[in-house]
Chain A
Amino acid sequence: MSPAEAHDVLLEVEGYSVAFKTPRGLARVVDDVSFSLERGHTLGIVGESGSGKSVLNRSLMGLISSNRQVESGSASFDGEQMVGRDRQPFWGARIGMIFQDPMTSLNPVMKVNRQIFEPLKLHLGLTGDAARVRAIELLTKVGIPEPARRLDQYPHELSGGMRQRVMIAIALAGEPELLIADEPTTALDVTVQKYILDLLSDLQSDTGMSMILITHDLGVARGRTDDIMVMYGGRVMEFAPTAELFERMQHPYSEALMQSIPRLDQPKHTRLTPISGAPPDPVDPPPGCRFSPRCRYAQARCVEELPQPRGKYVASTHVWSCFFPVASEEGRSALAANSETGRSAAGLAVAPADRTVDP
């Protein structure tokens, strides 16, 4: 991408943090996150449970209605600042969201038609026959056979994959500019997953809308996103264009994520290395890098100092926050040192002769 090309930024997030007041103290669930998303692009946000990725997106949407929430930083959508404002006007019409579990996300006692008609009426002003026609169009678009029949059914009468498609149709009904997909395939069969993800990509190129794809599975993000943002402990670990991330991974956490996914091209019976340990306590996080307790590369500096990103998390750039990145000199010697002693600076046991990532 040439530097001269104008970047049409739809969503710009800077220094965004979300914390919750709990009896034990302030829980910093999202900490100083910055990124930008261009029109028509897809951003993948990858992280394990507890990384803050879901809270990040729900907070951005403004869906969390707790009065213990403390939001700070800036997030502007198409130039309009969202933080500190009631985001209800955005919902459905400008930003759509689909959720993980289609069974619980659809109202079980309401027929599908009513659930689709609602946004059609709210945002496009369609009622009666016009609404029905459009609804059938939408259902067809998401690949549901016999849409007219399905319209009059209840959610439990549909299969998991179909329910997810219905949810997508509902989210698209208002013709939003941005679609946030929160783990859209996690609750689905592996075979259905692919169809849904393909569908989302197709819809995207069709409508030109932007998308944020949230997942804990790097494999899902690969090939379907323009940029990927890796989150851990509420902070951004690494941000890169997708291909770049997989070719030149820098952050140890990203590497660890890669190693824990099974891949077809690995020899059979390759040991999968799950990442040992647990996510940090949002109320009382480690003073240094959040990942240091579980990082094989960790050195003393990592435990004490919080690494800052080298540059801004802007689309198409590759930025990471780490003192001993994987592909660097410092990184390699750090790992070697730890393998020798058998321990990282944070006390994690490091087995000798761990292989590094092989993209």
Chain B
Amino acid sequence: MSRDEGAVIAAERDVQVDHAEGTVEVKRLGIGFWLSIAWIVLIITLAILAPWLPLKDPDQNFVDIQGKGRPPYSPSGDHWLGTDQDARDMFSRIIFGARVSLVVGFSAVAFGFVVGGTIGLIGGFVKGVFDKLTSFVMLVLLSFPALILAILITSLMERSLFTIALTLGILSIAPVSRLARSASLVFAEREFVTAARAMGAKPSHIMIRELLPNVLIPMSALALLGTAVAIVAEGGLAFLGLSVEKGSTWGKLILIGSDSRTLENAPWVSFGPVVALFLTVMALNYAGDRLRDYFDVRELAL
């Protein structure tokens, strides 16, 4: 493609072609990205600080038959997002619910990335029997419909925060390892790795010092997206009554408000947490997507 054609196409894609340096500059992350990050930070902060914030007790029943009739009470000055059928304050329940939902989400992703990422990284570099074996195992894992697998696992043990997070983590191992593996394969062919090999560096050394930093880049871009998926998955499990036993998560809150009567008369019971979930997931999705564009992960896409 001639230089001027390049300029035409580049101009059409909002990309700056710097002739002097021969570099191409992709546009910045954008304001949407920062807004999303801001929301995520806000939610995390609120969740962490929840016990110390001036919120109503999420488990207390603020029944007031005299003044307001029977619960659920609609949003008002007293209860910003109304109450549920047991007159518990929705606003504070949502914030406290964030604690579990977020913890589950992040730790599931962390687990999946560490385990899946390691397997994939090693597999892509070492290849051979190890790779064939692990790839096959991953493929089997992937062939299980995810939710069913989750239910299967959760029904095997008691449902604590740890086990739920673990389950979701296990679910994320397969896709993450696939990504790590393909990234590893790509980078393993690059010259700096060959150079390191030629210098006599040990395989483990190469993997950690050369491959890992490079593979981490696309993976971290996907971490945000993965968290979104994990939070949604937890919500799904909660909806089926299969999430953590104690404590509330957004999924559980949504479930509580989801029967037809409540939906009809007091939609806020369900939709309050729905909106919170939606905004958080959207923020994670959007930020993750922008990061993916920025680091141009497309070529390594699953």
Contact = CB atoms under 8 A, between A and B. Distances in A.
Interface string B3-26: 111011011101011011000000
A22 B16 CA distance: 7
B16 A23 contact: yes
Centre residue among B7, B8, B19 by max chain A CB count within 10 A: B8
A199 interface: no
B16 A50 contact: no
Contacts of B20: 281
Contacts of B19: 278, 281-283
Contact of B8 (A23, A50, A55, A281): A55
A330 B129 CA distance: 75
Given A68-B12, A281-B19, A54 B7 contact: no
A22 B4 contact: no
B122 to A, nearest CB: 38
B260 interface: no
A64 B3 contact: no
Given A20-B8, A22-B11, A66-B8, A279 B3 contact: yes
A54 B1 CA distance: 10
Contact of B3 (A20, A22, A50): A50
A301 B73 CA distance: 86
Nearest to A52: B4
Contacts of A37: none
Contacts of A55: 4-5, 8
B76 interface: no
A49 interface: yes
A29 interface: yes
- Chain B contact residues: helix, strand, loop or mixed: helix
Contacts of A64: 8
A53 B20 CA distance: 21
B60 interface: no
A170 B253 CA distance: 65
A21 interface: yes
B2 interface: yes
Interface residues of B, number: 14
A49 B10 CA distance: 16
A108 to B, nearest CB: 18
A234 B19 CA distance: 15
A21 B12 CA distance: 10
Interface string A300-317: 000000000000000000
A20 B12 CA distance: 10
A85 interface: no
Interface string A255-289: 00000000000000000000000110111000000
A66 B14 CA distance: 12
B4 A29 contact: yes
Given A49-B2, A50-B2, A54-B2, A20 B16 contact: no
B16 A54 contact: no
A24 interface: yes
Contacts of A69: 8
Contacts of A50: 2-4
A181 interface: no
A68 B3 CA distance: 17
Contacts of A66: 8, 11-12
A69 B5 CA distance: 12
Contacts of A283: 19
Nearest to A64: B8
A29 B7 CA distance: 9
B16 A24 contact: yes
A196 interface: no
A27 B10 CA distance: 12
A216 to B, nearest CB: 9
B4 A21 contact: no
B7 A20 contact: yes
Contacts of B3: 49-50, 279
Interface in B17-47: 17, 19-20
A283 B7 CA distance: 11
B169 to A, nearest CB: 42
Given A50-B2, A54-B2, A22 B7 contact: yes
Centre residue among B10, B12, B16, B20 by max chain A CB count within 10 A: B12
Centre residue among B5, B7, B10, B16 by max chain A CB count within 10 A: B7
Nearest to A69: B8
A52 B4 CA distance: 6
Given A21-B11, A22-B11, A66-B11, A282 B4 contact: yes
A24 B2 CA distance: 20
Contacts of A279: 3
A52 B11 CA distance: 15
Nearest to A67: B12
A279 B5 CA distance: 14
Centre residue among A23, A278, A281 by max chain B CB count within 10 A: A23
Given A50-B3, A66-B11, A68-B11, 9 more contacts: A20-B11, A27-B7, A29-B7, A54-B4, A64-B8, A66-B12, A278-B19, A279-B3, A282-B7
Interface of B: 2-5, 7-8, 10-12, 14, 16-17, 19-20
| Leading 3 A-B pairs by shortest Cβ distance | A50-B3, A55-B4, A49-B2
Interface of A: 20-24, 27, 29, 49-55, 64, 66, 68-69, 234, 278-279, 281-283
25 contacts: A20-B7, A20-B8, A22-B11, A23-B14, A23-B16, A27-B11, A29-B7, A29-B8, A50-B3, A50-B4, A51-B4, A53-B2, A54-B4, A55-B8, A64-B8, A66-B8, A66-B11, A66-B12, A68-B12, A69-B8, A234-B4, A279-B3, A281-B20, A282-B4, A282-B7
